Structure 1
Amino acid sequence: MNIKVRLVIMNFLQFAVWGAYLTSMGSYLVNVGQAAHIGTFYAMQGIVSLFMPAILGIIADRWVPAQKLLSFSHFTAALFMALAGYYGMSSGSDVEFGILFTLYSLSVAFYMPTLALSNSVAYTALDKAGLDTIKNFPPIRIFGTIGFICSMWMVDILGLQNNYGQFFACALIGLVYGVYALTLPACPVNKGGEGKSLTEAMGLRAFTLFKQKKMAIFFIFSMLLGVSLQITNGFANPYISSFGSIPEYAETFGVQHANILISLSQISETLCILLIPFFLKRFGIKYVMLIAMFAWVLRFGLFGAGNPGSGVWMFILSMIVYGVAFDFFNISGSLFVDRETDKGIRSSAQGLFVIMTNGFGATIGTLGAQAVVNHFVDFNSEAPQIEQWQYAWYTFAAYALVVAVVFAFAFKYKHRPEQL
């Protein structure tokens, strides 16, 4: 089989595992009385991302080929996710936070490092085939987002988005991927001890970049913007589903199929990737980042103003805006880091960018978002909480707006189109 096709399948499965629960788990947690802990569940992804990818990266560099470690990690993650599903099934509505959270956390601890491991396998395979990774990897990676979307739709159509069944779906896809990973091209290991140290693998060498004012400001704002990354993943589905308590909206498509509606965000994401080269060359990193920041303002504000009935167009527009908010920040930020750092620490600098955004930023964001939602929304009330949810979304929008305004004045960068 053509190596590109094999890597397309790998990326499809890699993100299909994640898509099975990432946008719908919040609704399940609401249904089993764990609404106050949604942010804690999502924050665990950021917490384990601070150290697990580095640890497994060193193991893959020195002792266990990446494709085998990828398989082991997915088998292990699938096992704990299946146990979480079984616990949810056997406990019904009497789910205890400690047990479910522990099983989920162990699964996530082994899944999150596979995001990096799958990239390593892909880069190695493309290099072996004599193919340019910069040219050939992005089109392959897009199929990861397609896998994520397909998984979301499957969970929605099968009626699993509000119950424990999504954990079983995730585990099943993970098992299939675990088997498939063993068939991927072999990756070399460096048994001579010349692999990266833990300090290097975690990107800690790149902390010297904080000595440069420009880079220090960039990384700080990367963390502040990273706060927004997981908020809608955790709370969009519970919010849209909550309209079901109002007869006017109970039978609308959005309430019945919140996951499919939310998947428009991922569809937009795949399309907006194509806009980045043009916008970067035309406007430069500062204005591209500002566009992303104001897109987050619209993302949250439109969520607060919309509804699944006559206002569903605002939900749809919010989903479309997400592609700009996510891609213009993550991909453009990564390209900026690559261009502005010395070759000797570029890998570490990319690691630092991930730590600041998906590690510190996303963790702080989900925990902070939970505090905001808990402040406004009474999950124990029988009365609809739509207005209370709206206060939460407008709070998130106000936060994104403040970050954007301060960034506009604090980040000084002269755009030079000839460098792109």
Structure 2
Amino acid sequence: MTFTMSRLSAMMFLQFFIWGGWFVTLGTYLVQGPLKASASQVATAFLSQSIGAIVAPFLVGLIADRFFAAQRILAVLHLAGAALLWVASTAADFNTFATCVMAYMLLFMPTLALVNSIAMRHMQSPEKQFPYVRVAGTIGWIVAGVLIGWLGWEQAHRLELTFRMAAAASLLLGLYAFTLPHTPPLARQRTAGVGQILGLDALRLLKSRSYLVFFLASIAICIPLAFYYNFTNPYLNDLGVRGAAGLQSLGQVSEVLLMLAMPFLFVRLGVKTMLAVGMAAWVLRYVMFAYGDAGSGFSLLVIGIVLHGICYDFFFVTGQIYTDAHAGPDTRSSAQGFITLATYGVGMLIGTFLSGAVVEHYTTATGPDWQQIWLFPAGVAFVVLLAFLLLFRDRPAAATAPAAT
């Protein structure tokens, strides 16, 4: 690996270490920490991710990509983010905390596109080099979870320290970003229209029935996805699982391993099978959670977490490849932005509201009825899977195109 690739890998490591350092245990901090938040308030806090995903194209496309060097705007966003994370760790009431988190995610979500842009602009062959740089980000997320588990912050009820750890890492990345290779706006980025920046010119893809079915399924499957992000850590801690954040990092380990196997599997299974297996894994995961426990059913919890690799890679990564195959050369970037806006923006937005309502509905004076809570997203994922199997008809050209990617 060259020196430049090593520098970009360090950037990715810090980027996802920051996110994994506080986001995984956010629900537990809100429920069990000093704020004693309700399920709806937990959902409100997680809602910041979806709103940030919706706003990100405006900030990156309309401002950063047109007027500023990418590494400089990355530095400023992370330096400001460090201050917000630190203030969030000291918030004495939920409203103050939620305001800090919302402001932070409005700054953080655009940085996901910025680090990708910086990395790819300095690669001779992004399709070959980028996966090896991006995997450093997944390793950063894993290290953050393992570190939280090793330090025992969940058991000690000191999860405010996760925000301070992430703030320190954000400060470090903010300073480090100023030293990254110079990445000025491209001429075509300065002249791109608003519709192109937001991916709206990719709407023409929906004229294809197969892509329309995939697009709607992508939004729908993100509804049960929100349950996993929002309430897995509180669930594991409620069961008394020690080092829950570290255990959850097994999901990212499986993601890395399956990512390496994706080219082999894609050629042999094809688009429809890959997408269907990914959705079926969501159903199985939530059933495992519904019937797992910290005793004899602990293996079910572990299997459910390890299934993350299939859930994410088989559906979302396959979907990105499928989108790339359908979009022409002029709309590939717009199409990727469009599907991201639809899934992490619209889909997760709906799922976040629904997850909070479902958890509150099944929570009594004795605590949450986790079995009923997890069976709900399992049912949603099953319905989406059935509809997809019945309605999706893949075009042969789309199935063969990714093999050359």
Same fold (TM over 0.5): yes
Quote the offset at 1:357 in angstroms: 1.1
Question: Does the alignment pair 1:35 with 2:61?
Answer: no
* Letter matched to residue 387 of structure 2: V
Q: 1:153 aligns with which of 146, 153, 165?
A: 146
Counterpart Cα distance in 1 of 2:400 and 2:190: 38
Q: Any conservation in 1 of the 2:210–2:395 contact (CA below 8 Å)? A: no
Match of 2:79 in 1: 75
Quote the offset at 1:190 in angstroms: 4.5
Question: Does the alignment pair 1:268 with 2:254?
Answer: yes
> Could you list the per-position Cα deviations for residues 61-112 of structure 1 after superposition, in whole angstroms to 9, with x for gaps in the alignment?
221100000000111111111111122xxx3xxx2x2211101100111001
Counterpart Cα distance in 2 of 1:351 and 1:104: 23
Counterpart Cα distance in 2 of 1:61 and 1:23: 30
Residues 355-394 of structure 1 aligned to structure 2 (within 5 Å):
355-378=341-364, 381=365, 383-385=366-368, 388-394=369-375
Question: Does the alignment pair 1:316 with 2:309?
Answer: no
Name the Cα RMSD after superposition. Answer: 1.7
* Letter matched to residue 144 of structure 2: S
**Does the residue aligned with 1:328 lie in a helix, a strand or coil?**
helix
Structure 1 residues 192 and 286: CA distance shift in structure 2, 3 A: closer
Residues 10-409 of structure 1 aligned to structure 2 (within 5 Å):
10-31=11-32, 32-36=35-39, 37-87=41-91, 91=92, 95=93, 97-126=94-123, 131-161=124-154, 162=157, 163-190=159-186, 194-244=190-240, 255-378=241-364, 381=365, 383-385=366-368, 388-409=369-390
Counterpart Cα distance in 1 of 2:58 and 2:114: 10
* Letter matched to residue 235 of structure 1: F
Q: Any conservation in 1 of the 2:67–2:185 contact (CA below 8 Å)? A: yes
Q: Any conservation in 1 of the 2:60–2:113 contact (CA below 8 Å)? A: no
* Letter matched to residue 29 of structure 1: L
Counterpart Cα distance in 2 of 1:68 and 1:370: 37
**Does the residue aligned with 1:227 lie in a helix, a strand or coil?**
helix
Counterpart Cα distance in 1 of 2:393 and 2:190: 39
User: How many residue pairs were aligned?
Assistant: 394
> Could you list the per-position Cα deviations for residues 22-64 of structure 1 after superposition, in whole angstroms to 9, with x for gaps in the alignment?
1101001002211321111112211121122332233222211
* Letter matched to residue 391 of structure 2: A
Identity of aligned residues (%): 34
Counterpart Cα distance in 2 of 1:190 and 1:265: 37
Q: Any conservation in 2 of the 1:57–1:117 contact (CA below 8 Å)? A: no
Structure 1 unaligned blocks of 5 or more: 245-254
TM-score (norm 2): 0.93
TM-score (norm 1): 0.90
Quote the offset at 1:193 in angstroms: 7.6
Counterpart Cα distance in 2 of 1:228 and 1:192: 38
* Letter matched to residue 232 of structure 2: A
